[in-house]
Structure 1
Amino acid sequence: MKSFSALTFIAVAATLAGANPVEKRYSPSGIDVSAYQGNVNWGAAKNNGVTFAYIKATEGVSYTNPSFSSQYQGATNAGLIRGAYHFGHPNSGPGDAQARYFVSHGGGWSNDGITLPGALDIEYNPAKGGNACYGLGASSMVQWIQAFSNQYNSLTGRYPVLYTTTDWWKTCTGNNGGFGNNNPLWLAHHSSNLGPLPAGWEDVVIWQYAEKGSNPGDQNYFNGSDDDLQQFAASG
């Protein structure tokens, strides 16, 4: 894939005192949504500057977003570049099985110029009282993610984007540096600056900078120009 420097993002609060502005001529805006957002007004989002979207398709090996089809079709009809993401549950099935479930329920990729490669959302266990790393040690977690990644690549011809936080990656993979060559990084860091990256990556492809904003869902920037975004969708 093409390498995009992480320093190319526009800092959200660059005009604030003490902020360090990061200049970039382009930073396509995007959102990610799930069943929580329900019926999204995609036309309004596009008119408000959104150019791409990730839509939750699945979790584990049993859950599908009941709004996925309508959200995905709505984004398509609005002319957005869009893709699907899977919320990983490493404690409820092997990584390769979850990749197959994801692809069979909307998470595939096609070289049509408007479909983003599928993303694996891997973060702290949201279950109340659940183990933060789903009961896996660092080595087992790395193997689980690798199994998901390899299976997704085998099924689609693309490696999945990895959505995570630097803190989770350090805590649950031991800050493993082995994924940067194949897997684009979608970093969640809700701040006015990108912050430190996990080991193995020199840049990000997407930065989720806020959990809410002027558009539905989480707020994101793509690291590059509109042409770069189209190229990433088409071939990486």
Structure 2
Amino acid sequence: MTESRRRRRGWLIASAATVAALATLAVLVWSGILWPGRMFAAGYETRGVDVSSYQGEIDWQVLASEGIDFAYIKSTEGSSYVDERFEANWAGANETELLVGAYHFMSFESAGQSQAEHVIDTVPRGADLAIAVDVEFYGDFFADPPSRADVDAILRPLLERLQAHYGSPPVIYATPEAYDRYIAGAYPDNPIWIRSVVLPPTLEDERDWTIWQYSHRDRLAGYEGDEAYIDMNVFRGSTAELAALAGE
């Protein structure tokens, strides 16, 4: 075998090994066995979950013992939908030592004022955590996202009405894509809850995040629903600082 053929064979073997290693890594990440964000998130002491009806019936005493400090519970969506597990989750979570709050999934298809009134009709005042508003793409809006002006016309009155009612600026949850398109450079008084499930988040406008959703494929004890996984989050600060965002 000539030297050039040896080099070519060695290159092919190395390339095949690299592809195999990357494929194995991808499978481990996809399955939730290996999740890089977990390593970085381990440096933060205040940890929590966010849940919805997808987690099914939750034994909150069990879940609260899983090394978490807070829980955000889906309450509402748009101007009329209430999560079917909200009432049970709200009652159960508030019987634990967890800090508890609610989040609203914002619709691009109804006015911000009507969405705010829907939240107010559903979520009691006096929660441990500031109310949160989830801004992300869904359905056909992935392919055809609304303009920033259209979203601002919904989001701004929604946030203002919720702040007036609950007494503190709502937390804005966003995916990186939604943040860059709709939030960056605006809403300076609203704490940012950002999703970044591989590496620590870096916001386009260099703003500091407040809550980081670092995983959507963790498994904890205490729930049994259609969704086997649960979202995990960390807060940049202490539990007292997290509670202070609610203005209580």
TM-score (norm 2): 0.75
1:211 matched residue in structure 2: 216
Q: 1:198 to 1:118 in 2, by over 3 A?
A: farther
* 1:51-200 mapped onto 2 (5 Å cutoff): 51-91=69-109, 93-106=110-123, 108-110=124-126, 115-125=128-138, 127=139, 130-132=140-142, 136-171=146-181, 173=182, 176-179=184-187, 181-191=188-198, 193-199=199-205
What's the CA shift for 1:218?
Answer: 0.7
Whichever structure has more helix as a proportion of its residues is: 2
Match of 2:39? 13
Larger radius of gyration: 2
- DSSP 3-state at the match of 2:146: coil
Any idea what the Cα deviations from partners look like across 1:59-103, whole Å, max 9, x if unmatched? 111110111111111111112110111111111x10121011111
TM-score by length of 1: 0.79
Please say if residues 90 and 134 of structure 1, whose CA atoms lie closer than 8 Å, have aligned partners that are also in contact.
no
- Relative to structure 1, the CA distance from residue 169 to residue 234 in structure 2 (aligned partners, 3 Å threshold; closer, same or farther) is closer
Structure 2 residue matching 1:31: 3-state secondary structure: strand
Structure 2 Cα separation of the partners of residues 198 and 207 of structure 1: 15
Runs of at least 5 residues in structure 1 that lack an aligned partner in the other structure: 1-10, 15-21
- 1:204-227 Cα deviation digits (max 9, x unpaired): 111000112132621111111233
Q: Hey, what does 1:32 align to over in structure 2? A: 50
**Using the alignment, how far apart are the partners of 2:245 and 2:174 within structure 1?**
19
Deviation at 1:228, TM superposition (A): 1.9
| Partners of 1:60 and 1:87 within 8 A in 2 | yes
Paired residue total: 205
- Identical amino acids, percent of aligned pairs: 28
